[in-house]
Amino acid sequence: MTTRGDSIELSLIKQMEILASRRRNVVSLGQGIPSFDTPEPIKRRAIEAIERGLVAKYSLSPGALELREAIEEQLAKEGMSYDFEKEIIVTVGSIEAINATLHTIIEPGDEVITTSPTYASYVQAIQVARGVPVFTPLDEAREWQLNIKTLGERITSKTKAIIFSNPNNPTGAILSRATLLAVGELAVKHNLIVISDEVYREFIFNPAERRNYFTLASVPSLRRNIVRVCSFSKTFAMTGWRVGFLHTDRSLAERILSVHDSLVTCAPVVSQYAALAALQMKPDELDLYVREYDARRSLMCSYLDPLKDYLSYVRPAGSYFVFPKIYTERIPHYTGSVALAKDILERVGLVTVPGAAFGPAGEDHLRLSFGRSRESIVEGMQRLSTYFTTVCAN
């Protein structure tokens, strides 16, 4: 007897890391894990909470009151009005927020549109909720922008939601205000939910673009159609703490809360205290991360430029990924990005993520993370250069 789990594969991102764990002297530019340790004020707050005996019991299912109040205050500073009691849910990272939302809004066979390339776990989450993923391509020639006309053509009577990351993982592209508003218009017209995953929102390298960042969750008339997903994982180097949040109109939040409760009861309480400390960090402390990632972006691109006979790339505007396109005709016996990524791992001990992980338009690409340390980037890119200039040149 086959079950739903038989048809859902482990993400290629995780598959590559597992393969790498069986080898020695491996460098990873694969999984999107920040190289930084969690900042000291966050760790101290968690330790204090443990020592005061505050973390041994469940919090309220939607999250600790103090944390949700702090999130409400932060959202208000960003021009968004959401009630901490009825419209904010603290989740086990962003992926639980996405899963809880999808389980709430779709029935078996319903369609969910996502971009291609898209974050690999969206497809799995849609399938776990018994939905059908439908891809709409991003245009690489236009720096991975979304074509609204093509998106509209993907909508059918079975479509229930649209999900995307902004900035995009894996391309680093940022959707414009005009494009996002057009997505919002489609959502209202067709009564769809837009799941806006904004976990890389802080990592935008143009200062003006960062200041003027736009989210559909800031438009009052769209609030019934928007679920905004946020995470502490990337912004504060807290991937292991597993804590994030979502916010949406109370009419939908109340329904999502019931699913969230059935999935996890509540987010880890110690992590909620850590998240509270994260929200109290000063903006200039976060700027240090952004400046460092910007420098690492330039470092990685400086190694990609000499490989122009084998790879081309769009310089990412946000996130901490580069998504170079492979000139497949230059790769001997090329059979796809998965085989190439495995061959790179086998021959030079470098973990990359095959573009096939990110949907049809991702094939014939590799994802490289500059969230890793400068030392890892230098060593990893030297190994990648060795692979292309020796293995592929012969």
Mean pLDDT by 10 residues, the chain (394 residues): 62 85 90 91 97 97 98 96 98 98 98 96 96 97 96 98 98 97 98 98 94 96 97 94 98 98 98 97 85 97 97 97 96 93 95 95 97 96 95 73
The reported pLDDT for the residue numbered 6 is 54
Q: How many CB atoms lie within 10 A of CB 294?
A: 16
**CATH-assigned architecture of domain 4-31+284-388:** Alpha-Beta Complex (3.90)
In the chain, ranges of CATH 3.40.640.10 domains: 41-279
Please give the model's pTM, rounded to 2 decimal places: 0.95
Q: How many CB atoms lie within 10 A of CB 73?
A: 11
- Residue 378 CB partners (closer than 8 Å, separation 6+): 299, 303
**DSSP-assigned beta bridge partners for residue 359:** none
Q: What is the three-class DSSP state of 115?
A: strand
Q: Phi first, then psi: give them for residue 90, nearest 5 degrees.
A: -85, 130
* Residue spans of alpha helices (H) in 158-234: 177-190, 207-211
Residue 82: which of 92, 71, 91, 66 has the closest Cα?
71
State the Cα–Cα distance between residues 352 and 252, nearest whole angstrom.
Answer: 38
Q: Which residue is listed with tokens 């690999």? A: 120
Q: What is the three-class DSSP state of 335?
A: coil
Q: What is the three-class DSSP state of 292?
A: helix
State the Cα–Cα distance between residues 255 and 86, nearest whole angstrom.
Answer: 11
State the Cα–Cα distance between residues 73 and 85, nearest whole angstrom.
Answer: 13
State the Cα–Cα distance between residues 90 and 230, nearest whole angstrom.
Answer: 10
Q: Which tokens sit at 109? A: 């066979």
Q: How many CB atoms lie within 10 A of CB 207?
A: 10
Distance spanning both ends of the chain, measured CA to CA: 48
Residue 264: which of 59, 126, 67 has the closest Cα?
59
Q: How does 2-35 read in b/e, with b if 16+ C-beta sit within 10 Å? A: eeeeeeeeebbbbbbbebbeeeeebbbbbbbbbb
Q: Which residue is listed with tokens 């021009």? A: 79
Q: Phi first, then psi: give them for residue 189, nearest 5 degrees.
A: -60, -40
**DSSP assignment, residue 35?**
S
The reported pLDDT for the residue numbered 79 is 94
In the chain, ranges of CATH 3.90.1150.10 domains: 4-31+284-388
Q: How does 244-268 read in b/e, with b if 16+ C-beta sit within 10 Å? A: bbbbbbbebbebbbebbeeebebbb
Chosen CATH of 41-279 out of 3.90.1150.10, 3.40.50.300, 3.40.640.10, 3.40.50.9100: 3.40.640.10
The reported pLDDT for the residue numbered 284 is 78
- Cα 85 to chain centroid distance, Å, stands at 26
